[in-house]
Amino acid sequence: MTATILYEGNLRCTAQHLQSGTHIETDAPTDNRGKGERFSPTDLVCTALATCMATTMAIKANDMHIELNGLTVEVQKTMQNDPRRISKIDVKVSFPVTLVLEDQDRVILQRTGDNCPVVKSLHPDLVLNIQYS
């Protein structure tokens, strides 16, 4: 088992990661009857995508003897109604400004990010825009 989730009322949940014992709280977003005081479940999907891309790229970079400290990822979701779901995710990956990459290394890292496990787990109807800079 990966996690246990407790519904606390008022559209808030607490998830406990069983291996580490850490917790994440979620709220429903303000556009869906929530307070928006925590990540929403759909925010976590987008955050999972961004962190998965960064992590898999860093693993590959380590194998290539490249240091990615300072890499940033910005993520923005677009929701749709009927059915309510994430319809689009925009991702901007920015390599550290001090990092000088050969073109071939940049392509390898970008392909790694584009093929992370979360990317491969998303529904094909979801529009995914990924930019690298």
pLDDT digit string (tens) for 60-110?
999 999 999 999 999 999 999 999 999 999 999 999 999 999 999 999 999
Once rounded to an integer, what is the mean pLDDT over residues 8-12? 96
The verdict on 90 and 110 lying in the same domain is: yes
Write down the pLDDT at residue 78: 97
User: CA–CA separation, 77 vs 116, rounded Å?
Assistant: 18
Residue 115 pLDDT level (bands cut at 50, 70, 90): very high
Report the percentage of the chain scoring pLDDT > 70: 100
Name the residue among 1, 119, 2 with its Cα closest to residue 56: 119
pTM across the whole model: 0.94
Domain shared by 33 and 67, yes or no: no
Together in a domain, 29 and 88: no
Full residue range of the structural domain in which residue 7 is found:
1-39
* 104 and 47 in a common domain: yes
Q: Are residues 17 and 81 in the same domain?
A: no
Is there a single domain that holds both residue 91 and residue 108?
yes
Domain count, the chain: 2
Instruction: Report which DSSP code applies to 38.
Output: S
Residues 28 and 72 in one domain: no
Q: Are residues 105 and 68 in the same domain?
A: yes
